[in-house]
Each structure stands twice: as C-alpha cells, then as structure tokens.
Structure 1
Amino acid sequence: MAGHRNKVSWSSGLCGCFDDLGGCFLTLFCPCIAFGRIAEIVDKGAISCCASGTMHVLQGLGTSAIGSILYHCCYRARLRAEHGLEEKPCADCCVHTFCGYCALCQKYRELKSRGFDMQAGWHANMERMGKTVAPQMNQGMTR
C-alpha cells in the first residue's frame, strides 16, 4: 500500500515498550534478531532474517556508527512508506541517532500490530494470511 496521501499514526509511541515487553526485551538483549525479523518482513523475504541480523552485528562491530544509523533509518523510512505512517516524533535519522533501541522496538511492535508473526518470517506470514508469494529467482551464474 505504498503511496499513501493521508499519513496515519504509529500503532504505539516511540517509548511504548510496555505495550510489548517481549519485543522490548528481545530488542534490548538481542537487537540483531529483532532487526533481522523486521528487515525480512520489510524486504518481503528477499533477504533472510539471519542475513539481516548478521549485517546488524557486523555494523555494530565496525567503526561506522553513521553507516549503522543510516542503514536502520532506511528500514524505518521503507516501513513508513509501505504503511503510510507519519514521520514522527522527528525525522527517521534523528530517531535512530538518539533513540535507536526505542525506534527498533517501535518498528517491531508496528509489524506485530499489523498481524505479522515476527518469529515466522515473511513467507510463513504470507501463507498464514492466505497470500501467494512469487518464488524467488536464484540470481546465480547464468550462461
């Protein structure tokens, strides 16, 4: 549902961790798993939870905090665009710069509130929702 004209509010506020304590603890203690699950759904299964979570870990080990923030704010922007969400309380990059864990928790809660089983992944969610998913083409070597 990209291209919304009327923006809607997030299902919970940036500091709404009490709305989902399980997701909050997951984000606090295993942010790579939380991010991987979010990224797999936002990417519509094109990249696995494991690959996205690994990217999160590698960025955390790297020296580029700015690169990590940009990576995360891009996913927030894509989630907002897909679901017509308002850019609030401030710009995506500001939210991730100053409230990174809260922003990750908010994205996790938003997808859950939209009916996604965050542990199941993209393809299982589509099957559960009765939607068909086109098979992924292997982009390997060709003749």
Structure 2
Amino acid sequence: MYSQKSPPPTVPPPGYVQPQPVPPYATGDGAVSASPLMPQTSWSSGLCDCCVDIPNCCLTCFCPCIIFGQIAEIVDKGSTTCGVHGVVYALINAFTGCGCLYSCANRTKMRRQYGLIEAPTNDCCVHFCCEPCSLCQEYRELQHRGFDLSIGWQGNMDRRINNNGIQIPPVAFGGMNR
C-alpha cells in the first residue's frame, strides 16, 4: 500500500485577490477574468485629483446623489436605475447623514469588479473622510474604462453593440402582393 501525501495548499502571492464569480449578464468591461488569480491594479487617477474635471467636481460637491446614482447604475450593471440609487442615497443622507456607508459599499463592489487596490486606505474611511473626492475618483475611473455615465448602463451597452458592427436588421412589414 502506498500512502500519497496531498500537496501543500498553495498560497497566492501578495497583491493578488481571488476573483468574484462572473454573473451571466456581465458583458464587456468589468467582467472578471477566468484566471484563478487576478492582479490588483491601481486607480487611473488619484483621490485628490478632483479638479481634473471641474464640472464633475462641482456637481459632486453640490448634489452628490446624482453622481452616486450614475456610478451605482454602472457598477450594478443596470439592475437598478440611476434614479433609484440617487434617491436612496439622498434619503439616507437627509435622515441620518451617513450616505457614506451606502456609497462605501458601492466602492467596494466596484473595486472587486475591476481588481483595484484599496487605497489610500479602506473604502469606508475614504468615503467617511472625503466623500466628494471618492465619488469623483470613482466617476473618473469608470470614464477611464470607457463608460459614458450620462447615458446609463443600457446606453453604454447599446453603444458597444453598435461600435462592434452588429446591427439589428430592419423590420419587414407584410409580404409581397401581386
């Protein structure tokens, strides 16, 4: 009788995270790769680079519910609309002043989707200490990844289909008559 030793468990190297399963509706940018280990990448812009996009910075400072709603719709892949996310965020902020907890959970979800590092500190601290800056950074990250946040998830998916050359054939009404 031979006794076989099982191999020692493999430990992923530092800087790698276990990917999240890909939902069946995930398409295009944001789908997690099929490899067992996914390297973490840094954000495309810094947390304090808010002034790179002045209109977005001003809108985020004066009405963060709009920007949060746009970000959340893209991160949720259109399962909930921008308006719903924005209203929930506004209500939480109005009644408790803790909208940062809702947006913090969304940042974590976004980080996991794109394999982004948790920097400069954990997500809750970033949103609690500097909510407008974190929302601006998330907005810029999605723009960097090719999303137009003003048209929502469905608009982005339609744009990708049209850019790939796939067209829907015209509808033919009735048959030939003699």
Counterpart of 1:102 in structure 2 is 133
2:114 maps to which of 79, 83, 90:
83
8 Å Cα contact 1:32/1:56 also seen in 2: yes
- Using CA pairs below 8 Å that are at least 6 residues apart, which structure has the higher relative contact order? 1
Q: Report the TM-score when normalising by structure 2.
A: 0.69
| Aligned-pair CA distance for 1:56 | 1.1
> Within the alignment, does 1:123 sit opposite 2:154 as a pair?
yes
| Aligned-pair CA distance for 1:125 | 0.3
Counterpart of 1:38 in structure 2 is 71
CA deviation digits over 1:27-86, x for unaligned, max 9? 112211100100110111111011111011101111252xx3221111001111111101
Instruction: Report the secondary structure of 1:123's partner residue.
Output: helix
Instruction: Report the secondary structure of 1:120's partner residue.
Output: helix
The runs of 4+ residues in structure 1 deviating greater than 6 Å are none
Instruction: Report the secondary structure of 2:133's partner residue.
Output: helix
- Structure 2: how far apart are the matches of 1:9 and 1:104? 16
8 Å Cα contact 1:12/1:19 also seen in 2: no
- Structure 1: how far apart are the matches of 2:119 and 2:149? 23
Counterpart of 1:29 in structure 2 is 62
Instruction: Report the secondary structure of 1:15's partner residue.
Output: coil
Report how many residues are paired. 129
- Structure 1: how far apart are the matches of 2:40 and 2:55? 28
Instruction: Report the secondary structure of 2:84's partner residue.
Output: helix
1:62 maps to which of 78, 88, 95:
95
Unaligned runs of 5+ in 2: 1-30, 163-178
Paired letter, 2:145: R
- Structure 2: how far apart are the matches of 1:34 and 1:53? 8
- For the aligned residue pairs, the C-alpha RMSD in angstroms reads 1.5
Counterpart of 1:9 in structure 2 is 42
| Aligned-pair CA distance for 1:2 | 3.0
| Identical counterparts, % of pairs | 49
